[in-house]
Amino acid sequence: MLTLLTEKLSRDWWHFAVRSMLTIVFGVVALIWPGVTQLALVLLFGAFVLADGSFTIATAISARKYFKRWWALLLEGLTGLVIAAITFLWPTITALALVYFIAGWAILTGIFEIAAAIEFRKLIPGEWATIIMGMLSIIFGILLFVSPSAGALSLVWAIGFYAIFFGIVETVFAFRLRGLGRELEPKQTSTAHA
């Protein structure tokens, strides 16, 4: 069963790669235009969380037959969709409410990432990227809850740097999955010929 899950995840490595690129783009946009209006930041965050949640749900559904804790990815994706819906339905929310939305999303995402990492550690020896992503998300969310009134500009910078770093770590994870798939190819070919 682990071999089937490994094969499935390595074939779908691009889900994680696309998700990581969206995260990096979101972070770069936040850093390039830190003075963007509050409404634009809210809508940008909503679009990012919608895309991220959609890719996470697609990954969870495609891996459900092979991945015992697929529900953790599904819950992570659904959380993103709910936060995106709230963001789009009430785009004029205050900056403080946006901070709490981002903090809640980061903490829940971190918890679900760590739950998924427990299963990934069985597949990829020395897997650390998913655990780091989860811990960073939880720490970032807690920091936002503890200090929600930080200046708007410093908040945008913090969100931008967090998103870029999170995206880089996720990119590493995606390419490790891709490499794992390439390692499995010769084994599958030799098994087929045996």
Cα Rg of the chain (Å, integer): 18
- Give domain limits for the chain: 2-193
* Long-range pairs, 40-46, Cβ under 8 A, ≥24: 41/98, 41/156, 42/87, 42/91, 42/92, 42/93, 42/98, 43/87, 43/88, 43/91, 45/87, 45/98, 45/101, 45/102, 46/83, 46/84, 46/87, 46/88, 46/91
Task: Flag whether the pTM goes above 0.75.
Answer: no
Question: pLDDT in tens for each of the 194 residues of the chain?
Answer: 445 666 766 777 777 788 888 888 888 887 887 766 566 777 778 888 898 889 889 888 887 877 777 888 888 899 889 988 988 888 776 667 777 888 888 898 888 888 877 776 766 655 677 788 889 889 988 988 887 766 556 667 777 888 888 888 888 878 887 887 777 666 555 555 54
Q: Are the CB atoms for 61 and 74 separated by under 8 Å?
A: yes
